[in-house]
Chain A
Amino acid sequence: MSFLNPAAIAIAAGLTIPPLVALYFLKLKRDVKPVPSTLLWKQSVEDLQVNSPFQRLRSSLLLLLQLLVLIAAAVALGKPMFETTDVHDSTLILLIDQSASMGVMEQDGMSRLEKAKEQAKIRIENMHDNARAMIIAFCDRAIVVSSFDSDKRALVRKIDSIEQTESRSALSEAIKLAEANMQNMFISQADGTDKEIRPNVESATVIVFSDGRIEDTDRVSIQRLDVDKLQLVSIGQRGDNVGIVAMAARRNYEFPEVLEVTATVENFQDQPITLDAVLHVDGRVLDVQTLDLAASPPPSAPEDATSRERIGDHRRVVAFDQIEFGGSGIVEVVLRVDDALSADDKAWTIIQSPRHLRVLLVTEGNLFLENALSTLPIDVVRLTGSEYDEADDSIITDGNRSTYDVVVVDRHATARLPQGNYFFFGTVPQLDGISTGKTISDQVIFNWDDTHPILRHVALETLQVYEWEELIVPPNAVSIIDGETSPVLTYLTRDASQFLISAFPLIAQDDDGNLLMNTHWVTSVDFVVFMQNAVQYLAGNLATTGRDSVAPGEPVMLPAPANVESVSIHRPDGVVDAVSVAGFQTLHYAQTRQVGTYRLEPAVAGHEFFPINLFNPVESMVKPVSQLSLGAGSVESTAASVKVNEPAWSYLLLAALALLLLEWIVYNQRVFV
């Protein structure tokens, strides 16, 4: 038993009990009653007092009962609790997981987030009155829902305001945010004076309300908080879930009107399951396939993500072949299963109509490149560098966007870069943050991402490049092929444009001006496949895979339609957001915490929709964990079972009422004696 407000007991008791006792002893108001003789009454009173040393108190059962009522009420004011958790924490930080897996509906009909909020609210209610609490909701991002506050009602309201998202969960940002706020809280108390308040950050208790399915536990670093005071309240029980972890849709190379859709489906539960996967295209069911998935293998410790990603009996690829669909639309794969998490039972992608791509090749002459492009099913227009720079806008641009699907620039530095898709060979686009350094000629190709769509079916083991320029690119650039010290092939986006930059030119000139092959790769079939992949990828015709899909919560950048003030974005749940694009070429949108297809209106042709898919095995593995391994395995928080500090004041009030009733009975007994 502990008290949230012990001072109230002393104050209430001090204010009420002494006056009550004083009133009894002073007996200020006695009814005067004449009697024939006081002889026997005095004798009787004396007898009673003689027989009992505490007769003065004992004779008045009413006083005793009233004292008990007051004591019970005073103790109730002290907010007593049957102690099951430590209520003496002066500083609390509640981290509430709002990621996709928290949307699992548990057996009692409550979602995990609702349960977590309930637990958090109980913890707040049980908080010591002088204690302060901060509430942080986290998924892929962490936001401070409430800064440090002692107002329990306000804190409960803030907890109620936390909404479910379908994003992944990342704890590291939440921990950083908590640590930063701890620091801020105490500094702000100095309110401009020289008085410095040393933060006692060690005393903060951090409670994580989560199912424990957190992606970045290995990246969590705790610097200022007390690791021993980190608790996990594990939420949820269900573990039955099957989800789509990847999806791709592409057109047949030879027959563009034929669609090939693949989806990777994984069983996350410990029971085998048979289910139907249904393919919808533009809302019409085009195919159904039945899948048999084995039980999920028991997790090895620590969780080995790469082993889980291997295709096995529990993780199968369902392929929908020979789907005749010539138009553009939304491709949707739906799993017919009743499982814990519904966000991963559907996946979407957008497929465009088959069309001949228009490619502009800006080169002073490159036989290999021209030959490679000529073998592809595309229309190629060739311009020299000077022709490109001087060409009329009507040739190059349509509105503020390039009229060509892809512009391949070969060894020509240019700043004429309307919105579009660019592939630079041997030079870089003249944009801020992108430049070349020294020439590298003594290094080998060191590493490459063979899962990237551009390198699909491309063998790089024999690639040799004689020299290339050191690329200096922004941090958001994705390196596809790495040299020892500098990327060789990199991909980046800037506004609504895509840039694929090859650090090496295909051909080079020697000192005498003779053209030389910079790589023998240009003569291999791999180069043609590479160019096909690159052009298709840049033009957006390649299948989008899980890796390239936008995850919930991540911002989306889309080309903005010209001459429009704002664009309406219809979310999957029907909510419409208006995004101002006046004067911008790019539309930035971040309210993507819900999976589904988002519709833009008005939109640039081909960008009317964009899908948001979960594709996150960590979130799909909904079975809660009771233990969190944080950092490099050195920090562990033990699982905290759901503890409830039951308030005891209600029992005390009941006792006070019972005593009051008893007092009433005693009083009436005295009246009728």
Chain B
Amino acid sequence: MAVDITTQLLDPAFMTKLDQLALVSRKIFAGKLRGERLTKRRGESVEFADYRNYVVGDDLRFLDWNVFARLDQLFLKLFLQEEDLHVSLLIDCSKSMDWGEPNKWLYARRIAAAIAYIGLINFDRVSLYSYANGLQSELTGVRGRRLMFKAMEFLTGAECDGQSNLPAAAKQFAIRHPQPGIVIVLSDFFEKSGYEEGLRFLLGRKYDLYALQLLSPEEIEPKLAGDLRLTDVEDDDVAEVTVSRALINRYKHNLQAYCRQLKEYCTRRGVSYLFTSTDVPFDQIVLSYFRQRGLVK
């Protein structure tokens, strides 16, 4: 069963390639449990961090006897603690995501599955959230390869519904998830109320934030003609248009401007902005693009 669910989003051959990858955080966070990542916290790893004066009660095993021999003073060797990393994926499951060929929703879940897999095999603490008008469902704190099937089950079972509201979802997420870590938002970012507020909530928690914008080819190069009554799948809003070359050009121009503004907004605030069209092969995005952008190594 677990294999079946997993296979829908990730095939075994691809998973083998993912085994060699690990998520990279541009920041070093303190984890909850010991993991495989160095943290700011001093711990019991083999990585030397610093010295400090011995105080009564310290573990005598960490005294540096060579220094004591030379200086006749007791110093305690401090090592970096290796802890786990919190990786949270916020996946937009509003109706607008269930669109395009290849489908944005499937594409987003496959990316989420790949990232989750990478996180799980590296003993990172992976949390999955789907959001629309607020957080819809979540799978928090899974760790280790054996829980991969739970993550896949979550992703497979999630459905698109409702209207996107990133600020509400981000606010809920920030309250419920105070731990630092990597937060990846997968969305088309078509927010009628604006994406800025939502991102601001996430920035407040000093997450290592990634914004991954997914658009389908139909959104990038619309194939529309004639006099149309365009209805928004999320809120049934109507736009009456007479499609002309000028209008198409204007739409493309506006789309580029919208994406560029999002990118600038993200860059200015230290958020990594990634953009992809769903017609780009999925494995290429994960293996090549994410590596280039430093999300995985």
A interface residues, Cβ below 8 angstroms from B? 27, 29-45, 47-48, 59-61, 669-673
Cβ 8 A contact of B231, one of A33, A44, A59, A671: A33
On chain B, the residues within 8 Å of A43 by CB distance are 254
- Is the CB–CB distance between B226 and A40 below 8 Å? no
Cβ contact within 8 Å between A40 and B234: no
Separation in Å of the B255 CB from the closest CB of chain A?
Answer: 6
Residues from chain B with a CB closer than 8 A to the CB of A44 are 241, 247, 250-251, 253-254
- State which residues 220-250 of B face A: CB under 8 Å: 224-234, 237-248, 250
User: Could you show 5 A-B contacts with beta carbons less than 8 Å apart?
Assistant: A30-B229, A36-B95, A40-B255, A43-B254, A44-B250
Set of chain B residues within 8 Å of A672, measured between Cβ atoms: 225
B247 touches A45 (CB 8 A): yes
Closest to A63 in B: B242
Instruction: Please determine whether A38 and B251 come into contact, CB atoms closer than 8 angstroms.
Output: no
Once A35-B230, A38-B230 are accepted as A-B contacts, the answer to whether A47 and B225 lie under 8 Å apart by CB is no
Do A30 and B247 form a contact, CB below 8 Å, given A37-B234, A38-B237, A40-B254? Answer: no
Q: How far is the CB of B214 from chain A (nearest CB, A)?
A: 11
Task: Name the A residues within 8 Å of B237 (CB-CB).
Answer: 38, 42
Specify which chain A residues have a CB less than 8 angstroms from the CB of B243 in the assembled complex: 670, 673
Residue of B nearest to A40 (CB): B254
Do the beta carbons of B225 and A671 come within 8 Å of each other?
yes
Q: A38-B239, A41-B230 are in contact. Are A33 and B254 (CB under 8 A)?
A: no
Q: B230 — which chain A residues lie within 8 A by C-beta?
A: 33-35, 38, 41
What residues make up the interface of B, taking CB atoms closer than 8 Å to A? 95-97, 99-100, 188, 190, 192, 216, 219, 224-234, 237-248, 250-251, 253-255, 258
> Given A44-B254, A61-B244, A673-B245, is A27 in contact with B232 using a C-beta cutoff of 8 Å?
no
From B96, B226, B246, contact of A31 by CB (8 A) = B226
Question: Which single member of B97, B216, B247 contacts A59 (CB below 8 Å)?
Answer: B247
Q: Which residues of A have CB within 8 Å of B240? A: 27, 30
Say how far B66's CB is from chain A's closest CB, in angstroms. 66
Question: Which residues of A sit under 8 angstroms from B224, Cβ to Cβ?
Answer: 33, 673
The list of the 5 closest CB pairs from A to B, nearest first, reads A36-B96, A37-B190, A30-B229, A38-B239, A44-B250
Q: CA–CA, A61 to B227, complex, Å? A: 12
Q: Which residues in B have their C-beta under 8 angstroms from that of A59?
A: 242, 244, 246-247
Contact of B251 among A41, A60, A61, A670 (CB under 8 A): A41
Q: Closest approach, in angstroms, between the C-beta of A44 and any C-beta of chain B?
A: 4
Whether A45 and B239, one on each chain, are in contact in the complex, defined by CB atoms closer than 8 angstroms, is: yes
In the complex, the chain A residue whose C-beta lies closest to that of B164 is A37
Q: Is the beta-carbon distance between A40 and B188 smaller than 8 angstroms?
A: no
A665 to chain B, nearest CB (A): 12
Instruction: Report the bound CA distance from A143 to B155 in whole Å.
Output: 103
Given contacts A39-B232, A45-B239, 4 further A-B contacts (CB under 8 A): A36-B216, A38-B232, A44-B241, A59-B246
Task: Report the Cα distance A41→B231, complex, angstroms.
Answer: 10
Task: Tell me, in angstroms, the Cα distance from A35 to B219 when the chains sit together.
Answer: 9
Which residues of the partner chain B approach A33 to less than 8 Å between Cβ atoms? 224, 228-231
Contacts of B192 in A (CB 8 A): 37, 39
- Judge whether B226 and A37 touch: CB under 8 Å: no
Are A38 and B255 interface neighbours, CB within 8 A? Answer: no
Please determine whether A31 and B229 come into contact, CB atoms closer than 8 angstroms: yes
A33 vs B233: C-alpha distance in the bound complex, in angstroms? 10
Q: Given contacts A31-B226, A36-B188, A38-B232, is CB(A670)–CB(B245) below 8 Å?
A: yes
Q: How far is the CB of A58 from chain B (nearest CB, A)?
A: 9
A48 touches B247 (CB 8 A): yes
A673 touches B254 (CB 8 A): no
